Amino acid sequence: MSDLFQQVTDDQDPIKKIMGKIPGFSGYIERQSRRDADKLLRETIAKRFEELWERVSNLQQELLATGGLMYVDDMERAAIKLRTFADRIRTASYGHSSLFDAVKINEEELARLYAYDSAMLDLVDKVGGALDNVEASIGTDGIPAAIRNLITLAQECIQTFDERREVILSGGAVDAATPDTSVTAEE
């Protein structure tokens, strides 16, 4: 995550770099850079989850075409969860003004937020793998377990975002040190 923050700060124009040397102004620049990094990160995550959501829709059509009508509703549960997650990521306030203005966050709390951000990025790969498993399981006895795993991971996405939001709103006072992304695939 520090790479993302570094990319945003490296992209600052020379005037901003000079102004960053004015007492008190560097804090403003840093807060704005964090907001920009947060916006970039969440737009990226939302876009990737929208692509996964589209894959779910395509798999639903494939299920219908191969006689798997009984599984379409379960796939829709996963689709709704993924869509909800992507929408929440995309529509949340960038930079969480409470995080950068009213709530003063320390480095430890910021590291926890980055852990949640990293977990959300990891979930892109996990959900993608779960979709691969659903696709490979179409027409086999493994399809119910593959779909259950997908639903579980989709719910984990929402939970991870909610936990991150709670860290922000509580000023880092939430007990959990890092997100739990230890869900394993059901076979």
In this structure, the number of other CB atoms found within 10 A of the CB of residue 76 comes to 13
DSSP state of 71: G
pLDDT of res. 171:
63
**pLDDT tens for each residue of 133-157:** 999 999 999 999 999 999 999 999 9
**pLDDT tens for each residue of 23-42:** 655 566 666 777 777 788 88
pTM: 0.71
**pLDDT tens for each residue of 3-30:** 666 665 565 566 566 555 666 555 666 6
Mean pLDDT of 82-90: 91
- For residue 100, which of 18, 5, 3 has the smallest C-alpha distance? 5
- For residue 53, which of 147, 122, 128, 133 has the smallest C-alpha distance? 128
DSSP state of 67: T
pLDDT of res. 99:
40
Mean pLDDT computed over every residue of the chain: 78
pLDDT of res. 156:
95
Tell whether the model's pLDDT for residue 63 goes beyond 90.
yes
Q: Domains along the chain?
A: 46-169 (1.20.120)
In this structure, the number of other CB atoms found within 10 A of the CB of residue 185 comes to 15
